[in-house]
Amino acid sequence: MISKASAQPSPGADTSGDSYLPHHGNGGYRVRHYDLELDYKIGPNRLSASAAITAEATQALSRFTLDFGEFRINRVLVNGKPAKYTRRAHKLQVKPAKSLALGSEFLVEVHYVGNPRPLPGLWGDIGWDELTDGSLVASQPVGAPSWFPCNDHPADKATYRVTLTTSSPYLVAVTGNLVSRYTRASTTQWVFERPEPTPTYLMSVQIGRYDDIVLVSGGVPQRAAVPPRLRRAFARDFGRQVQIMDSLQRMFGPYPFGEYVVVVTDDDLDDPIEAQGMSIFGANHVDGRRTHERLVVHELAHQWFGNSLTVADWRHIWLNEGFATYAEWLWSEESGGQSAHAWAKTWHARMKLKPADLRLADPGVSRMFDERVYKRGGLLLHALRSELGDAVFFPLVKAWAMENRHGLVTTAGFVALAERFAGRSLTAFFDAWLDAPALPPLPA
């Protein structure tokens, strides 16, 4: 059977071929690099920007399409020459003056201005959003076009350079390494580079009146941007993050990025969210009593599972959420809390009460972020650990993270690696846990 994800879209097509979100992402080219120059005024929420996108044509192209929100476009250039363009919904179709040959590298420049705002979708409004005093970007899965034109599909990872100029008293954190910072009177220009291949949804901008806190500078450098009023509570709640980092590195292999940054906004957020080399928490996730330490673990685990290893198609989402959930249980066990098995028993009992109508390997687009994807994913991994034993399971998990570092992953890829480590077929096991709607029994 030919999977939809591998079907070749027609030239210039405005579909990625994704099985869940085919209208996000586009065919006919691959992006190599985004160079974004952003000038942002916080009060009026005004963005004046240019995006220079270096891409490679995977087919001969007379036109191509980008995903893009509601900005006024001043001009579009391809290889330095003005190009014609049309807009429909959140698609920008570009017709270069000269067609692009198969395999050719080309540069698209889009100059735009407007008020960035989150984009509506199945998961509420996501993307660039205003805070009470600042901004944040939380894009999973399709919010990236709220602030830059892009090929908005996780399988098209690219490198980035982001230059952002805004009012000087604010701290700016962008998913990348800060390479320069220059203050000129009332504004400061910040330049960040993201050299690791990164999907659009994991790029983020955080602007606020934050203190810049160094958690540790040796090993993996870890920093935090925190509102001054929350510093004391933050110090307690994130007090074990450095140990959590060590623990996850022992289990999953080296941390995939040069630095890890935690941002706590001064506003409440529904859920914390992962970005590349960064996690964003709301003020409500910090209470000085470590109530939400499992989320500290969960978001950090996404740096391996979701961020370094990115799903090739959204239907494989359990590979992100199942691993991040299981990491919570493993840390609990290691830090002297409840054992992973006790957590598995608790969640198995709760999941048994839920409708048995979700297939983990293909939950459906409306249920990508259903709690069952998270918990049944964690339960699958715990059951696999029982099936294989610790001596096989933990090397398997580390190999999964190492062999696919900065790559794209699928459920079939994980099954194949598990069988390689087991030295036998695991068809019955994975049929039960991945494909059957009923929740399998938990091994003793």
Least separation in angstroms between residue 138's CB and Zn ion is: 12
User: Catalytic: 160?
Assistant: no
Residue 298 is assigned to a ligand binding site: yes
Any contact of residue 309 with Zn ion (CB under 5 A)?
no
Q: Which of 374, 387, 403, 419 is catalytic?
A: 374
For Zn ion, which is the closer residue by CB, 14 or 328? 328
Tokens at 348, concatenated: 């198995």
Distances (CA, A) of 83 to 75, 93, 110, 414: 8, 10, 10, 43
| 401 near Zn ion (CB under 5 A) | no
Which of 56, 371 has the CB closer to Zn ion?
371
Q: Which of 20, 299, 326, 328 is catalytic?
A: 299
397-414 core/surface letters (b: 16 or more CB in 10 A; e: else): bbebbeebeeebbbbebb
Scanning 179-187, 248-256, 322-330, 407-415 for contacts with Zn ion by CB under 5 A, the matching segment is 322-330
Is the Cβ of residue 162 or residue 245 nearer to Zn ion in the bound state?
245
* Contacting range for Zn ion; rule: CB under 5 A; set: 96-104, 199-207, 275-283, 314-322: 314-322
Rounded alpha-carbon distances, angstroms, from residue 97 to 62, 152, 256, 346, 419: 9, 24, 41, 62, 51
DSSP 433: I
Spell 15-54 as b/e; 16+ CB within 10 A means b.
bbbbbbbbebbbbbbebeebbbbbbbebeeeebbbbbbbe
Residues constituting the chain:
444
**Closest residue by Cα to residue 310 from 407, 419, 213, 217:** 407
Does the footprint of Zn ion cover residue 324 (CB under 5 A)?
yes
- Report if residue 191 touches Zn ion, rule: CB under 5 A: no
In the chain, the amino acid numbered 220 is V
**Rg (alpha carbons) of the chain, rounded to whole number:** 22
Min CB(141)–Zn ion separation in Å: 12
Residue number with CB closer to Zn ion (163 or 241): 241
Cβ 324 to Zn ion, closest distance in Å?
4
Minimum separation from the CB atom of position 29 to Zn ion (A): 30
> Number of residues in contact with Zn ion, rule: CB under 5 A?
2
**Spatial distance between the Cα atoms of 386 and 222, rounded to a whole number of angstroms:** 34
Phi, psi (5° rounding) for residue 137?
-125, 125
Q: What number of other Cβ atoms are within 10 A of residue 186's Cβ?
A: 9
Q: Which is nearer to Zn ion, 365 or 436 (CB)?
A: 365
Q: Is 374 designated active site? A: yes
The stretch near Zn ion (CB under 5 A) out of 37-45, 139-147, 189-197, 318-326 is: 318-326
Q: Which is nearer to Zn ion, 152 or 321 (CB)?
A: 321
Q: Which residue is nearest to Zn ion (CB)?
A: 324
151 and 163 Cβ atoms separated by less than 8 Å:
no
Calpha distance 278→259 (Å, rounded):
8
Contact range with Zn ion by CB under 5 A, out of 106-114, 179-187, 245-253, 317-325:
317-325
CA atoms within 13 A on the CB side of 73: 23
In single-letter form, the type of residue at position 98 comes to: K
Phi then psi dihedrals of residue 378, to 5 deg: -65, -40
Binding segment (CB under 5 A) for Zn ion, from list 177-185, 319-327, 378-386, 416-424: 319-327
**Under rule CB under 5 A, residue 278 binds Zn ion:** no
**Shortest spacing between CB 321 and Zn ion, in angstroms:** 5
Question: Which residues are tagged catalytic?
Answer: 299, 374
Which residues make up each annotated binding site for Zn(2+)? 298, 302, 321
Contact residues toward Zn ion (CB under 5 A) are: 321, 324
